[in-house]
Structure 1
Amino acid sequence: MNKVSEESVLSLPERHARILALLQQNGSISVTQLAEQFRVSEVTIRKDLSYLEQQKKLYRTHGSAILLSPYISDRHVSEKEKRNVEEKQAIGKAAAALIEQNDSIIIASGTTMTFLAREIRPAGRLTVITASVPVTQILSQDEQADVIQLGGITRSSSVSVVGPFAEQMLRSFNCSKLFIGVDGIDPDFGLTTTNMLEASLNRAMIDAAQKVVVLADSSKFGRRGFSKICDLEAVDRIITDCGIQAPYLDKLRERGIEVTVVNC
């Protein structure tokens, strides 16, 4: 019996297991693709996906399915900093290695930026512009680092500043690199965060930098925050960990983005 006919005679639990296996392999898959794969109607597949979503095993979106809900709510920095610690440390170390002698950089907000700051060992004189209060606290202790703390409204959840004053300050600067953390990376939707003021400040940071380096652990891929920062075309490099799924890695590299995968 050939493969197609085997797919068509699967029991309901077997079909559900195969659907989840395909999602693990591909990250997402459409209703049409599943219907063709299993030689059943799209109505049947929608019922399958509805059941699996009720079991909290996948998330349905726009005629397709993914493993997890892509939508992210804002969480306090004290909660975020406890997640994926080893991955963030490795990502921060890889990012710090990109900083050159007498460099001028921008560091955005987020817990991964704090891990980056702890790994920075300035060669020559380093100038850092940042929205993150913890980053300022760390780097201001280094005599070789000149730290410019952006001013504005302080977000208690991230302990960082946002708002028009910070954006206005950035218009006076031009830096070699922006190191930015995000809440979500979607190949189609781009970079996102949960706060619209932070997204606006991030866009101003992008305008003030020659290169954009995104630091994101693998849990951020396929997710979306409330506010869009930019399309992927604005990104030069992404540093992530080995948990990134192959389909996301392939799509990023196909679009000309340099991706560094650190060891887990």
Structure 2
Amino acid sequence: MKEKRYELIKHYILQKNHVTLKELEDEFNVSMNTIRRDVNKILEDSRFEKVYGGVSVKKNTLVNFEDRNIENKEIKKGIAKAAADLIQPHDLIYIDSGTTTKYILDYLDDDIDISIITNSLDVIVKAEKFKNIPIFLIGHVFKKSTRSFVGVESDELTAKYNISKAFMAATAVSMQSGLMNSDVMEYEIKKQAIEKANNVFLLADAEKFDKSTLLTYASLKDIDCMITNKHFNEEYNEFFAENNIKTIETTP
């Protein structure tokens, strides 16, 4: 219970950017002494810093969605193109919400016959022009900051849909912490997609690696293929070999 509260408090601070101890006390309905102990623990995370009367997110800790949309655009497109090359007619694919995954549809033939499951508004808009692509939307609440639909039942995706290929995004990636994202509401969707898919492809540019963020939605061992512009060191290559993970290294 305590560990879960730590994570919820972290998420709250990340969303607000700065909070007072009194605000945390009221929001989480615990005593000030408990909040002080929780904050001391949370300050072990390098993303946060103590300020007078509260806690703040350090500058440059997280990049917002709109800025991430612009960063490394050509690199992201190159990764998306490599992912698109893996899609075959009659595939039933899940396309995750993300600033790289949204470009996949730019590289598909206009008459390709596939089905798409997604929670991404950008993917829905792009898929609309394809005459042979039915779109299955998941998520009941629209989140403007990430242009995605969130909020699913605990088994909504796994119970209803078959997924041949899942093309996943992550805010951060590492061997130790796996595939990470910073949004509690998107966590369940990503987790279910990984569990249901026959093949899992991670699209991640080099800037995402060996960093950390709020939540781990899957182990790195859970993916089948890594698509990235990163050139991996021996430790990563050994990990991929041991876990039968294919790597596709792209250029812009």
- 1:107 equivalent in structure 2: 95
Correspondence 1:144 to 2:132: yes
Correspondence 1:93 to 2:81: yes
- 1:82 equivalent in structure 2: 70
- 1:228 equivalent in structure 2: 216
CA contact (8 A) 1:253 1:259 kept: no
Correspondence 1:126 to 2:118: no
* Alpha-carbon distance in 1 for matches of 2:136, 2:217: 23
Q: Which has the larger radius of gyration?
A: 1
Deviations 1:153-184 (A, max 9, x none): 22222100111259525521011000001011
- 1:219 equivalent in structure 2: 207
Deviations 1:57-91 (A, max 9, x none): xx8xxxxxxxxxxxx95543211111111111110
Give the one of 135, 148, 151 matched to 1:160. Answer: 148
CA contact (8 A) 1:117 1:138 kept: yes
How many residues align? The count is: 194
* Alpha-carbon distance in 1 for matches of 2:140, 2:61: 23
Structure 1 spans left out of the alignment, 5+ residues: 1-58, 60-71
* Alpha-carbon distance in 2 for matches of 1:96, 1:250: 27
Q: Cα gap change, 1:91/1:156 in structure 2, threshold over 3 Å: closer, same or farther?
A: same
Question: Considering only aligned residues, what root-mean-square deviation do their CA atoms show, in Å?
Answer: 2.2
Correspondence 1:187 to 2:175: yes
Alignment of 1:197-208 (within 5 A): 197-208=185-196
Runs of 4+ in 1 over 6 A off after TM superposition: none
Deviations 1:13-33 (A, max 9, x none): xxxxxxxxxxxxxxxxxxxxx
TM-score by length of 1: 0.68
Give % identity: 25
Segment drifting more, 172-181 vs 251-260:
251-260
CA contact (8 A) 2:157 2:192 kept: no
CA contact (8 A) 1:152 1:166 kept: no
CA contact (8 A) 1:190 1:232 kept: yes
